[in-house]
Amino acid sequence: MRDTTAQQRLAALLEGSGLEPIAHFASEAYLYSRGHGLTDKWLQMYDDLPDVTASSYDFTSQVRIGRREDVSDEQYQAIHDAARSQIPWRKGPWSLFGVEIDSEWRSDMKWDRLLPHIQPLQGRRVMDVGGGNGYHLYRMYGEGARMVLGVDPHPAYYFQYRLLQHFLQELPVHSIPVTLDQFPEGIPWFDTVLSMGVLYHRRSPIDHLFQLQSYLRPGGELVLETLVVDGDEGYALTPPGRYSRMNNVWFLPSVPTTESWLRRCGFENVRTVDVNTTTAKEQRPTDWMPFQSLTDGLDPANPNLTVEGLPAPKRAITLATAPELARRKGGKKR
């Protein structure tokens, strides 16, 4: 099968961790079991991609794979057409052998806000929960992470990752189309765990924080990025229906509430390092994502409010340290 080697590589990286069973999620057998109607079409597309080698990469100042001069006109067109077939591109931007993919989110802007504050990634094992198509996975690898694992259940994001990884197969960067609930029960193996843009989609945010903690080694770092609202400790907004046209938003805590939730779960050294109001410079429709975006969810008469009359999107990055196993409050002690 096409991805047997990818499954084997992930299994090798996980050897001795207790997480070896999740390598199965990198197999095509699992992918077909998801029942996504375009699986055959897109896997065949990967087979038909040109077998080209990038002359260089850049994962530090951007995500660039190869250059235009690395490919012929015919090869360039094949890569361009494959990428266009997978619109919408939500996270990016990407440069793929000269194909410039201008995604909805300028994910590099979030990365630039985040990077100065987190523990250095050199030599660390990192998991990104809700990693989408893998943009931040490559940025973390560019900072020296020894292995990076993305976890996101959406097949469309996974297929975008597969397109990019087709040209980067030797890198220890993996994404699997699952939820964290499909992992073996919490095994504290990762040095850094990120959850960005996930917490407000969880019906039980406290359970999500405990779950993230359970996969962190003692002293490991949690990077939590979430929508927040202004308010005192204890306040969290629960939208009565949609929020900025999204229908799966459950809790928008204040920054003090976010920090108190983390402390209640046993995290240590909790601190919020960035609060940022989302603007159309960072999230907007493009030729690669020509659908509704941020401004469509805002009140046209008052951009400080959503179309539902709620506070406009504001995001906070909060960091925390995982406690020793004996001091953890959720799940089984190990």
**H-type alpha helices, 115-254:** 135-142, 155-165, 205-214
Higher pLDDT, 327 or 253: 253
pLDDT of 3 over the 90 cut: no
Domain 4-327 CATH (choose: 3.40.50.150, 3.30.470.20, 3.20.20.70, 3.30.1130.10): 3.40.50.150
Per-residue pLDDT, 327 = 87
Binding site members for carboxy-S-adenosyl-L-methionine: 91, 105, 110, 130, 180-181, 196, 200, 315
pTM: 0.95
Per-residue pLDDT, 334 = 35
Per-residue pLDDT, 332 = 46
Residue 65 near residue 141, CB atoms below 8 Å? no
The mean per-residue pLDDT over the stretch 314-325 comes to 97
Binding site members: 91, 105, 110, 130, 180-181, 196, 200, 315
Domain boundaries, the chain: 4-327
Pick the closest to residue 91 from 78, 79, 76, 109 (CA basis): 109
Residue 181 near residue 159, CB atoms below 8 Å? no
Indicate the average pLDDT of the chain. 95
* pLDDT confidence tier of residue 32, bands split at 50, 70 and 90: confident
pLDDT of 2 over the 60 cut: no
The mean per-residue pLDDT over the stretch 201-226 comes to 97
Residue written as token pair 């630039």: 112
Residue 185 near residue 332, CB atoms below 8 Å? yes
DSSP structure string for 198-215 = -GGG-S-HHHHHHHHHHT
Per-residue pLDDT, 250 = 97
pLDDT of 331 over the 80 cut: no
Summarize pLDDT for 246-265 with one digit per residue, the tens. 999 999 999 999 999 999 99
* pLDDT > 70 in the chain, percent: 97
| Diameter of the chain measured on Cα atoms | 60
pLDDT of 1 over the 50 cut: no
Summarize pLDDT for 84-107 with one digit per residue, the tens. 999 999 999 999 999 999 999 999
